[in-house]
Amino acid sequence: MNDSSYYTTLPGQGLEQKLDPRLAALAGAYPEPTLLLNRSGIVLGANAAMETMLGAVRIGVPVSLMLRAPEVIEAVRETGASGASRLVPFNLRVPVERSFEAHILPIRFDPDAKTGTPDLILLVFRDLTQAMRVDQMRADFVANASHELRTPLASVTGFIDTLRGPARDDPVMREKFLNIMSDQARRMSRLIDDLLSLSRVEMNVHRPPEAAVDLVPLTAHVRDSLSPLAGDRGVEISLEAPSSAVTVRGDRDELIRLIENLVENALKYGAGGKRVEITLRTEKSDAVLSVRDFGPGIAPEHLPRLTERFYRVDIAHSREQGGTGLGLAIVKHIAARHRARLSIESEPGKGAAFSVRIPLSTG
């Protein structure tokens, strides 16, 4: 068989097929982007996933004209010559940066031939972009969490040394340092609580809650439990809710946590506005819960990132307020578990409004 007798396309391309159509069909059925090459690296066929990855696929041309990845082209040449399979990681930069691995697999028609030049080469690509992004996010998360714990821990350890040494016999200093240590210990404990809540909600995100929960008493409960904090900050909390039940399928504790986080943020960051409004209403088939403050608001460039773990507009201010940077990430995950949508509106200087739209329970 000479090379030209392999020239073909895979099903659906309407060109003459000289390659065994069963082989072409097999490569065509493959879910990952796949190219069929002869041993000289000429493209014989491609599947639909390959067309999506590269745009147009040209049959009968060297693969080097279609794919700008010298490391893959070189490995194809080597497989064509030696018959050994290869696995090559590579990146494509156009139209956006993506990471792949190419599996270069020799195919021999003679079942007894285990070595030597192959009859065909199967080139299969796996897109690793998403998996690598997830790995990166996980690594960033662990680095951020460790950093957030290390800072207060270093402070506590430092004060222990001071209390053992220079401040040993100074009762005023001792009292002062013990207060700081106690604040830092509380900060670590809040962070650990938030990390645990986040991981619990994340673990259950694909299991929608089943209990029927009335949001009216829930919002009143949160308003009452946060009224001492509101009093401390000189903020008035108002609550407007229907007199009849607003029932959703939900997890009571998670919904309380969600409302608490939003109201706490309004009290922490919007205290200057002296007023926080909680409203609960129904709109078509949804319950809509909004928490609005009249503080400094949030600049538009921050809005899309607010629910990222550890993202804070002003880190020092968040720490001063006892923030962990995880509150809105927890809100987002609880909302996702309840098939709810979170929206944030803010006009800098005029305050911020966080709204959650939860589907009403239908039966």
Compute the least distance from the CB of residue 240 to ligand ADP, in Å. Answer: 18
10 φ, ψ (degrees, to nearest 5): -85, 165
State the amino acid at position 215 in one-letter form.
L
Cα gap 122→28, rounded to integer Å: 11
Read off the tokens for 323: 């923030």
Cβ neighbors of 337 (< 8 A, separation 6 or more) are 201, 204, 205, 207, 208, 209, 251, 254
For ligand ADP, the closer CB: 236 or 314: 314
For ligand ADP, the closer CB: 80 or 270: 270
For ligand ADP, the closer CB: 57 or 191: 191
For ligand ADP, the closer CB: 121 or 266: 266
Compute the least distance from the CB of residue 323 to ligand ADP, in Å. Answer: 3
For ligand ADP, the closer CB: 121 or 356: 356
Bridge-based pairing of strands 236-240 and 275-283 is parallel
Cβ neighbors of 182 (< 8 A, separation 6 or more) are none
Compute the least distance from the CB of residue 135 to ligand ADP, in Å. Answer: 23
Compute the least distance from the CB of residue 318 to ligand ADP, in Å. Answer: 3
Are the CB atoms for 348 and 272 separated by under 8 Å? Answer: no
Compute the least distance from the CB of residue 303 to ligand ADP, in Å. Answer: 9
| CA–CA–CA angle 345, 351, 344 (5° rounding) | 20
Name the site residues for ligand ADP (rule: CB under 6 A). Answer: 261, 265-266, 269-270, 293, 295, 298, 306, 312-314, 318, 323-329, 352
Q: Comparing C-alpha atoms, which of 207, 98, 198, 193 is closest to residue 141?
A: 198
State the amino acid at position 98 in one-letter form.
R
Compute the least distance from the CB of residue 232 to ligand ADP, in Å. Answer: 17
95 preceded by cis ω (within 30°)?
A: yes
